[in-house]
């Protein structure tokens, strides 16, 4: 849940809080910059990529002992990232138009040279060698520009998971965080999936969200996205039960099945202006 002061602070700045992955009306310009050499260098090196980056994502941190554990967690999470993306999809409308995607944010973010699902890591040396090689190409200016959807945090003893859109409701954010934590705490499922198939599963999750079909990252076979989400809950049920959150997750899954994803709820609004008003009202309810 957002702090109560967040809404007041936005009001005082002449703004409104809106829980969505992309702005439904208008066009996202470059993010507000600061007069720091690093940001000027990003603007110079990545050029038009910086435009249209008004993307808002949910970042979940799970505590780990060291980088080796963070990379083992990354390997566990990798195969479930399309499912987490589908469950969170909440950015179908951009610039006043339906993009045809449930998570347009993920498609916009995928343009960065190091984004989307991370590789399957052999350990810290493999990670460090790969990142340093990419930095040498200048596709990354530094390690802070590692934008894979899972990465060891540079500032905290955590693994950082960045795959999700900003959900509409606090309950949705809580359930996504619980699922991420439970995956890290559970025994791994089969981790070795071909990168092209995994990226195709990402694309399908971005387009259909949890309301359509999902691609199995191992085989590419399509099935209802909710079936894949239920497979995830079954996989992590022990970890959820140990934490006392299994019933909360199951109730939210049932609610989503009957009410639809954030993307589906956005599309039920008659026009983009009404959507903005509704999103503001829902966001304010959660502050």
pTM of the model: 0.91
pLDDT tens per residue across all 287 residues of the chain: 455 677 788 888 888 888 898 888 876 555 566 677 877 777 777 777 777 667 889 999 999 999 999 999 999 999 999 999 999 999 999 989 999 999 999 999 998 888 999 999 999 999 999 999 999 998 888 888 899 999 999 889 999 999 999 999 989 999 999 999 999 999 987 778 999 999 999 999 999 999 999 999 999 999 999 999 999 999 999 999 999 999 999 999 999 999 999 999 999 998 888 998 888 888 877 65
The DSSP bridge partners found for residue 160 are: 61, 151
- Nearest-angstrom CA–CA distance, 48 and 26: 18
Residues 81 and 187: beta-carbon distance below 8 Å:
no
For residues 102-133, b (16+ Cβ closer than 10 Å) or e, as one string?
bbbbbbbbeebebbbbbebbeeeeebeebbee
Q: Secondary structure of 127-165 in the HEC alphabet?
A: HHHHHHHHHHHCCCCCHHHCEECEEECCCCCEEEEEEEE
pLDDT at 25: 85
pLDDT at 162: 96
pLDDT at 151: 96
pLDDT at 86: 97
List the domain range (segments joined by +) for residue 193: 4-285
Number of domain units in the chain = 1
CATH number at residue 63: 3.30.590.20
Q: Look up tokens 């990379």; give the residue.
A: 71
């Amino acid at each position: 849940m957002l702090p109560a002061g967040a809404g007041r602070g936005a009001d005082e700045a002449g703004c409104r809080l809106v829980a969505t992955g992309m702005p439904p009306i208008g066009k996202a310009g470059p993010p507000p910059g600061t007069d720091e050499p690093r940001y000027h260098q990003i603007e110079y090196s990545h050029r038009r990529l910086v435009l249209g980056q008004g993307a808002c994502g949910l970042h979940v941190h799970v505590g780990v002992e060291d980088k080796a554990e963070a990379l083992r967690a990354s390997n566990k999470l990798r195969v479930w990232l399309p499912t987490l993306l589908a469950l969170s999809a909440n950015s179908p409308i951009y610039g006043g138009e339906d993009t045809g995607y449930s998570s347009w944010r993920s498609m916009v973010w995928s343009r960065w040279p190091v984004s989307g699902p991370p590789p399957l890591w052999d350990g810290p040396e493999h990670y460090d060698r790969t990142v340093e090689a990419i930095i040498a190409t200048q596709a990354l200016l530094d390690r802070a520009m590692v934008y894979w959807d899972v990465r060891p945090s540079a500032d905290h003893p955590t693994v950082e998971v960045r795959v999700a859109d900003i959900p509409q409701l606090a309950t949705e954010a809580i359930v996504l965080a619980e699922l991420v934590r439970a995956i890290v705490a559970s025994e791994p499922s089969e981790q070795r999936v071909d990168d092209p198939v995994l990226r195709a599963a990402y694309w399908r999750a971005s387009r259909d969200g949890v309301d359509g079909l999902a691609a199995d990252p191992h085989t590419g076979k399509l099935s209802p996205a909710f079936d894949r989400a239920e497979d995830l809950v079954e996989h992590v049920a022990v970890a959820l039960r140990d934490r006392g959150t299994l019933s909360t997750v199951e109730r939210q899954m049932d609610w989503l099945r009957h009410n639809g994803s954030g993307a589906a709820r956005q599309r039920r609004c008659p026009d983009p202006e009404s959507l903005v008003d509704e999103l503001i009202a829902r966001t304010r309810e959660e502050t």
